[in-house]
Each structure stands twice: as C-alpha cells, then as structure tokens.
Amino acid sequence: MRRASTTTARTLLAALTLMLAASTVTSAPASADDSRTTPRLASQRQIALATPGDFTGHGFDQCLAPTQSAMDAWWKKSPFSAVGIYISGDSRACRSQPNLSSTWVATQVARGWRLLPIALGPQASCQPRFPRYKDDFTISPSPAGGYAKAAAQGAVEADKNAADAMAYGIGPGSTLWYDLEGFDLTNTACRESALVFVSSWVTRIKALGYVAGFYSSVSSGIKMLDDARVQRPGQFALPDRIWIARWDGAANTSSSYIPEDGWRPGGRMKQYRGGHNETWGGVTINIDSNYLDLGAGSVAVPEGRCPGTRLGYWKYPALSPASAQPTRVKVLQCLLTEQGTYTGAITGAYDAATIAAARAWQASRRFTATDTFERRHWRALLSAGARTTIKRGSVDESVHRLQRALNAAGAGRFRASGVFDAKTETALRAYQSRQRIVVSGVATPQTWNKLQQGK
C-alpha cells in the first residue's frame, strides 16, 4: 500500500488553510429568538466544532440538501439536531446541490445544527450499482503492488474531498465521512482493494487536518474494518469514527455484527432506519434516521449562577409565611435577584423582603399577588428566560431551566444536569401530552409559553 507523500499533504494543507483564512464567512452568535428573519452566519471555528464535534443525539440524512425554509421548520419542530449532507464524490446520486453553499453551511451551524459532510466517490469493484455514470469509476481490484492502484485512488479522492469541503467553508478539524456502499464481503479482491483504498483515504484526510469518518453497511464495510482492527492490528489506517448502517429500528450505536469494544467511547453513530417520509412544521422530507454518540458526547456548559446556592431539586413545594423550606427559599431569592425584584442577601428566610419581592414578580407576570409562592409560580419562575428551541443533545443554559421546570411540573424526577438527555426528552414528552400540544420531545416556544404561564 502506497502512503501519501508527507510533503504533498503539507502543501495541500497549507493551501486549504489559506482558503480558510480568505473565507468571507463571518461570525455571529445564534439568536435565541426563533422569530428572527435575518440569517446569521457561523465562523469557521464554529463550523469545525459543529461538524459534528462532541454530540449525543438524533440526526437525519438526505441526498439533496434541504432548502433553508425546510431546515428552519425542522429545527423548530423536529427532534433532529444533526444533518448529513453530500458534499463531494463523483459517485453520489445528488451531484447537483442547488441549495448547498458556504452560506447554507454557516447558516445551519449558527442556527444550532450539527453537520455530517459526506463524500461518495469510488465504490467497491463488486458493488453492482456502480459505476453510476459514464465518467464514474470504481476502486481498482488489481492486486499488483499490494493493491497500489486502489491506494493511489484513495489518496487522490481524499484530496478532492478536502478541497470540496473547503469550498463549503468546512475546514480542518471537521469530520469528513466516506460513504462506501454495501458490497460482497466474500469477494477477496473486492474486499482487500476496498480496505486498502479506505486506509489510504484515512491516512491522507488526517494528514490534511480532518477527522476521518467512515460510513457503510454493518455487514460489509463496517465488518471489513472491524475484522482488520481485530485480526490484523496495525496493518491498515483505520478511521477515527464509524457510521454504522443497520436498519434495526434501535436508536443506539450497537449491532450484533461487531463487538462493543471497537470505536468506543465516542467513535460511533448508527443509521437505524432507512428511507421514509417524516413531516415536521408542515414540511415533509424523505430521510434516513441516525443516532449519534461522538467525541465526548454532549457536555454541559457550567451555569455560573448564584455561587454556593443549589438550584436543582426534584420538588418545589409551595412557600408561605407559616411553612417555607430554607433550601427552596434560597432558590427563590436567587432567581428573584436575577429577575430584578429582590436585592437582599441569600439567607433562606421567607421574610418580609422576600415576600414583597415575590409579590412584585407575580404581578409583573400577571399572576394575582399573594404571600404564598405556589407551584404554578415555581413553574413560571424556573422556566423564565429566552424561549430557545432545544432538543436531545442540547447543552444551552436553557436546558437547566427546562429540567427544573419539568420537575416542578411533576413531569420528571431527575437531576438538572444541563444536558438534554433521554430522561429530559421523556419528561418533556409527558408534559407536552398533558398540555395537549404537539408531542415532539422538542422544547418549542409553545412549550416554553405553557411553562412560563405556570401551566
């Protein structure tokens, strides 16, 4: 197997870096207001960190990149936070991508989407559906020189994929996924040439500064790599991350075809459902469904509120002059300080100053002012803030608010971790069902509205 020239790789990496620096994509923080009309663009660093970065949650892929209006509708309503896009490769069915551009990429990342850039170039020589076009070609099965032709193809394809990624503003640090469609694993020349091709592609794409990802059927391409990992360790360059195609309907990253130890932790995602239509926000797209568990997974952002005061509890009982738990009063005093109605010390005493601040807050939210701080008040106060759309995998500060408000609403009993995980999604679905609004597991502005009304 011929490896890529280090000098050539460095030259191309330098060129890509210059392209990256010359990009006109600008940085702007994503707005918490879902009603905005002016598109915001992410910086190159933000794009790299979201492609897909550290993330655990749901994703979808579809050959043709959706329109901006479709992406906006799905961000607001669907449970998906990651989207697969075909950016490179002469063998892909969607060579023409009328919606895809560097602006499209930067807009999705600014919105909150994670991206899965996919390349579908030369395919295994025994794959009957390829070549797809007259100017398409497959991986050479010639064994001469240890499948030297296949190795050369892999390096050339990596250069092409990296250049195409850069044209969309997807620079080094991002994960690029090579799509090798299912093939006959028992065909020796077909399998070995494909393995050498992938190894060469991985070597070159990593030399160019990208994280190497690989997609294939679990019973062919994925098993091919796992067999090489277990049976021929060190003989081939293996991808950093694998994308398992196994349509078993299970939203996890496991399969009986390969053992559990490979590419763990943080190196797996799974396409668990094949092509089907889903409709969110009135927009229907034919998609494959995926579950991601990559990098360090979704990691909570430190909250930094009310140092020394515990804010999260399973229950938030009513407070009155005759009965008030000091721990909950401290939470109340902290949050009322943020709301601007309390200026005293965090003492835990439900005293006159605290009651006056609570009454002022109640009146400002159109509640009838009372000396008792009731459970409906807790739900509204704990959820107070921006009505940001968040979903599985989100780590925005609003996740803390949502989790505490769901506990106060009796929809869950869990720690407010700051990570929108399975427990949060289950509790949110239960709350949405009780409120008779769309049960999506997504904290929509409508959901926030119900919570902030104390429902």
Asked whether residue 434 falls in the same domain as residue 336, the answer is yes
Are 274 and 399 found together in one domain?
Answer: no
Mean pLDDT of the chain: 91
In a domain, 378, yes or no: yes
Last residue of a domain, one of 246, 277, 294: 294
Q: What is the pLDDT of residue 304?
A: 79
On the question of pLDDT at 238 being above 90, the answer is: yes
Burial group, residue 148, by CB count within 10 angstroms (0-12, 13-18, 19+):
middle
Q: Are residues 283 and 356 in the same domain?
A: no
Q: Are residues 447 and 355 in the same domain?
A: yes
**Among 294, 311, 335, which residue terminates a domain?**
294
Residue 308 predicted with pLDDT over 90: no
CATH code where residue 181 lies: 3.20.20.80
Average pLDDT (319-346) is 96
Question: Looking at residue 109, what is its pLDDT?
Answer: 96
Give yes or no: residues 228 and 86 share one domain. yes
Our measurement of the distance from residue 99's CA atom to the centroid of its chain's CA atoms, rounded to an integer in Å, reads: 21
- Looking at the fold, whether 347 and 210 belong to one and the same domain comes out as no
- Whether residues 77 and 150 share a domain: the answer is yes
What pLDDT, on a 0 to 100 scale, did the predictor assign at position 11?
52
Domain assignment present for residue 311? The answer is no
Are 114 and 209 found together in one domain?
yes
365 and 254 in a common domain:
no
Residue 432 within any structural domain of the chain: yes
Q: Tokens 């869950």 identify what position?
A: 412
Domain-embedded: residue 318: no
* pLDDT value, residue 32: 44
Would you say residue 168 has pLDDT above 80?
yes
**Boundary residue ending a domain (294, 318, 351):** 294
Q: Is the pLDDT of residue 29 over 80?
A: no
Please, which pLDDT band fits residue 412 given cuts at 50, 70 and 90?
confident
Rounded distance, CA 133 to CA 112, Å?
Answer: 36
Q: For 275-306, how does the pLDDT look when each residue is reduced to its tens digit (9 = 90+)?
A: 999 999 999 999 999 999 999 999 998 887 88
194 pLDDT band, cuts 50/70/90, is: very high
Residues 264 and 146 in one domain: yes
Q: Please compute the mean of the pLDDT values over residues 144-149 and round it to a whole number.
A: 98
Instruction: Identify the pLDDT of residue 28.
Output: 34
Return the pLDDT at 16: 52
- pLDDT for res 31: 38
The string of pLDDT tens digits covering residues 95-137 is: 999 999 999 999 999 999 999 999 999 999 999 999 999 999 9
Measure Cα distances from 80 to 100, 178, 389, 422, 441 in Å.
19, 22, 12, 14, 10
The answer to whether position 184 is within a domain reads yes
At residue 24 the predicted structure's pLDDT band, cuts being 50, 70 and 90, is very low
Per the structure, the complete domain to which residue 448 belongs is given by: 326-452
With respect to residue 392, please indicate whether it lies within any of the assigned structural domains.
Answer: yes
Asked if residue 277 and residue 353 are part of one domain, the reply reads no
Q: Residue 438: give its domain's CATH number.
A: 1.10.101.10
State the average pLDDT over residues 321-329. 95
- For β-strands 55-61 and 267-280, DSSP reports them as unpaired
Return the pLDDT at 130. 95
* Total number of domains in the chain: 2
Indicate whether 300 belongs to any domain: no
Q: How far apart are CA 182 and CA 215, in angstroms?
A: 10
pLDDT digits (tens, 9 = 90+) for 338-390: 999 999 999 999 999 999 999 999 999 999 999 999 999 999 999 999 999 99
Q: Are residues 255 and 140 in the same domain?
A: yes
Whether residue 368 is contained in a domain is answered as: yes
pLDDT tens digits, residue range 34-73? 444 456 899 989 999 999 999 999 999 999 999 999 999 9
SS3 call for 317? coil
